[in-house]
Amino acid sequence: MESIHKQRVAIVTGGSRGIGRAIAERLAADGQAIVIAYSSNSDEANKTVQEITEKKGCAIAFQADVADEAAVSRLFDKAEEVFGGIDVVVNSAGIMILDTVANFDLDKLDRMHRTNIRGTFVVNQQAARRVRSGGAIINLSTSVKKIALPTYAAYAASKGAVDAISLILAKELRGRDITVNAVAPGPTATELFLQGKDTETIEHMSKMNPIERLGRPEDISEVVSFLAGPARWINGQTIYANGGMV
């Protein structure tokens, strides 16, 4: 479905690195104007903006803690001020801390849940209020909820909340012509995923799907591009982008 507006406008949180960066670059290549929200790394955010603009795309960067409702409100204000409105919101900001349930540091649990659960809720709250008709809200979940790997309980729990928020918000936006979906990547070769893993672990995880490789950020951005543009009949779903891992 083509927007009634001249150019679709997308906010991408966590858009300075990894999967979020690939999403920002793909949506820009699709012709959308991009607002990259980043938490602290302004250098990487500005590099992403530069790469987009060098390819004749349109992008700006804006610092915001996704769990801070005032900061997120200012982020949406900025998008509306610069580009005139908001059509797509992709919430890919998230952190991953791993340990067993028995040993997990509860302060770290609270920190991760603040970003992954509260942050998702805050971003979706603003999106629900401001996204224009014909728009899309897309949240990043995880495939580890299905495969139940040891040490991933806290992270998977936080992403289970993302799925719940997405499904229920889709129903709450009845009559608005706004889709809400979650995308659940499998193991994807990003800095976040590779950090702290030895070669044997990475090799094992790359063989867990029948295609027998790790995902690439571009694999995930392709799915988001579909949901952010033509996929008007997919709504309230969690899409597993993981090469067939079960």
Q: CA 21, CA 13: separation in Å to the nearest integer?
A: 9
What pLDDT does 194 receive? 82
pTM above 0.85? yes
Mean pLDDT (the chain, rounded): 95
If one counts every other C-beta atom within 10 angstroms of the C-beta of residue 105, the result is 11
3-state helix, strand, coil in the chain (%, to 5): 45, 15, 40
Q: CA 12, CA 10: separation in Å to the nearest integer?
A: 6
Domain boundaries, the chain: 9-241
pLDDT tens, 10-67?
Answer: 999 999 999 999 999 999 999 999 999 999 999 999 999 999 999 999 999 999 999 9
pLDDT tens, 166-214?
Answer: 999 999 999 999 999 999 999 999 887 888 888 998 998 899 999 999 9
Which H or E run contains 220? helix 217-228
What pLDDT does 246 receive? 77
pLDDT tens, 97-126?
Answer: 999 999 999 999 999 999 999 999 999 999
**Statement: residue 1 has pLDDT above 70:** no
List, by residue number, the catalytic residues. Answer: 155
Which two three-digit tokens encode residue 114? Answer: 């603040």
Mention the CATH class of domain 9-241: alpha beta
